[in-house]
Amino acid sequence: MNALFEYLLRLGDDSLILGHRLSEWCGHGPILEEDIAMTNLSLDLIGQATSFLKYAGEVEGKSRNEDDLAFLRFEREYKNLLLVERPNQNFGATMMRQFLFDAYRKLFFERLVHSTDSQLSAIAAKSLKETKYHLKHSSEWVIRLGDGTEESHEKMQSALDDLWKYSAELFYQDDVDEDLIENGIIPAVDAIKGEWDVLVRNVLEQATLIIPSNNWEQVGGRKGIHSEHLGYILAELQYMQRAYPGMKW
């Protein structure tokens, strides 16, 4: 197994699946301005997925391109976090999911910029700019809704209670990471954990939200063991490619 290929799938799939989830909002946002904003997030993520998966295809060297990888793998071969496949539920839950992810992504890209792999560092530089804005947007909403009305506070607290157990997987690390870290290709994510904690706690505190005391960690995505939701995402995502194999669109 090629560790870099595997790792690029993780990065690409996170972006792809979260981009997919956000795109489900298009036409259904709470107000037109926010509909447009969420589409921007989605577009950035789909752009990132394209870059990571394209590079993954090159690294793999089996002439699979970004579309082959995005549309023609089986469920167990997707390596995204469980967090990003969580259903949108309501706007608040969507922003909470976004916030937990963005906080990690921003810190991660800040370090990935210094990768010894020039292609990764270039993708990271572009993605970092996007992600800084995503984090600004999602954290503002988490604060606004957490400290808004009683109803919004309740909704945000229950979103946090629901999503918190998926946040540990952000810092999942295994033998795939080890070599890459050693060679300076990727940063060690456990080193980010401390900073992520500070950032997240700070925002949640402003949002008057309480971090659940239960520390149970729900993981699996990085190993290709997903929730039931991913299958349905893929059913839509892959529909055209599966129904009409091998055609150009």
Partner 1 sequence: MKEHNIEVLERDFQAKIDNDIKIEPKDWMPDEYRQTLIRQISQHAHSEVVGMLPEGNWITRAPNLRRKAVLLAKVQDEAGHGLYLYSAAETLGADREQTIDDLHSGKAKYSSIFNYPTLSWADMGAVGWLVDGAAIMNQVPLCRCSYGPYARAMVRVCKEESFHQRQGFEIMTTLAQGTAEQKAMAQDALNRFWWPALMMFGPPDEDSKHTKQSMDWKIKRHTNDELRQMMVDITVPQAELIGLTIPDPDLKWNKEKGGYDFGEINWDEFWQVVKGNGPCNKDRIETRRKAKENGAWVREAANAFAEKRKLRNTKKAS
Partner 2 sequence: MANKEWPLYEVFIRSKQGLSHKHVGSLRAADEQMAIDNARDVYTRRSEGISIWVVESNSVFASDPNDADSLYEPSNSKVYRHPTFYDVPDGIEHM
Binding residues for partner 2, rule: CB under 8 A, are 31, 33-34, 36-37, 40, 133, 136-137, 140, 144
Q: Which of 162, 157, 127 is nearest to 142 (CA)?
A: 157
Residue 96 contacts residue 161 (beta carbons within 8 Å): no
CA dihedral (99, 103, 109, 110) in degrees, to 10, reads: 140
Question: Is 18 a binder of partner 1 (CB under 8 A)?
Answer: no
Q: How far apart are CA 15 and CA 85, in angstroms?
A: 10
Does 88 contact partner 1 by CB under 8 A? no
* Contact assessment for residue 163 and residue 93, using Cβ atoms and an 8 Å cutoff: yes
Would you mind telling me the total number of residues written for the chain in this entry?
249
Looking at beta carbons only, is 20 or 105 nearer to partner 1? 20
Report if residue 221 touches partner 1, rule: CB under 8 A: no
Using an 8 Å Cβ cutoff, are 104 and 196 in contact? yes
From 42-50, 102-110, 181-189, 221-229, give the range in contact with partner 1 by CB under 8 A. 42-50
The CA radius of gyration of the chain, in Å to the nearest whole number, is 18
The region of 119-127, 151-159, 162-170, 180-188 touching partner 1 under the rule CB under 8 A is: 151-159
Among 11, 50, 85, 96, binds partner 1 (CB under 8 A): 50
Would you tell me which residues interact with partner 1 (CB under 8 A)?
Answer: 20, 23-24, 26-36, 39-40, 42-43, 46-47, 49-50, 53, 66-67, 70-71, 90-92, 143-145, 147-149, 151-152, 155, 233, 236-237, 239-241, 244, 247-249
